Amino acid sequence: MAVYYSKPVLKSLAQGDRLAFIRQFRHVTQPELGKKLGIQGIIARNQICRIERTSRNLRPERLEKIAEILNFNVAMLRRWDFENAEDLFYQSLWVEELCPDFQFRYLVPGRAMNPTHALFKEKYKKWKEMRRKYIRGTITYEEYWEWKLTKA
């Protein structure tokens, strides 16, 4: 049976929906991911489906294993701490996918005012550069998302 993949669609910012997006972006089926996690038989698909549909957060060790299998930065999928500047940045990367017409504009101060500004200033500069390349067609959607998942 032939399987056709299309561009994944992010339904919400919930951890399960983000996992489904990454899994689909990597062209991995639910049963395949389940088997790579060591889940045997018909239960493999059911377990991954349950993970993707639930509002509960993954245990850190399970999250690390999934990140290793699907080759992405664990920060893209972990439970967000809104006092953590890095988590705010990664949330912004996902919001861009959820609301593509939303315009991001971060006015970078001349000097960093606090640790959040420092981190955001550094990461936003590279994000802006990659986004510009994507919009201009210098890089593909896949290359842009590969950067987000592994290098952002």
Please give the backbone phi and psi of residue 21, each rounded to the nearest 5 degrees, phi first: -60, -50
Nearest to 76 by CA among 85, 86, 84: 86
pLDDT of residue 83: 81
pTM of whole model > 0.85? yes
- Sequence letter at residue 85: A
What is the set of domains in the chain, with CATH numbers? 15-76 (1.10.260.40), 85-150 (no CATH)
* Rounded-to-integer distance, Cα 29 and Cα 48, Å: 9
DSSP 114: S
pLDDT along the chain (152 residues), means of 10: 72 94 95 93 89 85 96 93 85 91 70 74 89 95 96 91
Q: Dihedral sign, CA of 24, 87, 127, 74? A: negative
Please say whether the beta carbons of 99 and 12 come within 8 A. Answer: no
Which tokens belong to 22? 């990454």
* Rounded-to-integer distance, Cα 15 and Cα 75, Å: 11
pLDDT of residue 16: 94
Cα–Cα–Cα angle for 8, 34, 32, rounded to 5 degrees: 60
pLDDT of residue 2: 53
Instruction: Mark residue 29 as left, alpha or beta (left: phi above 0; alpha: psi -120 to 50; beta: remaining).
Output: beta
Q: Dihedral sign, CA of 20, 26, 27, 33? A: negative
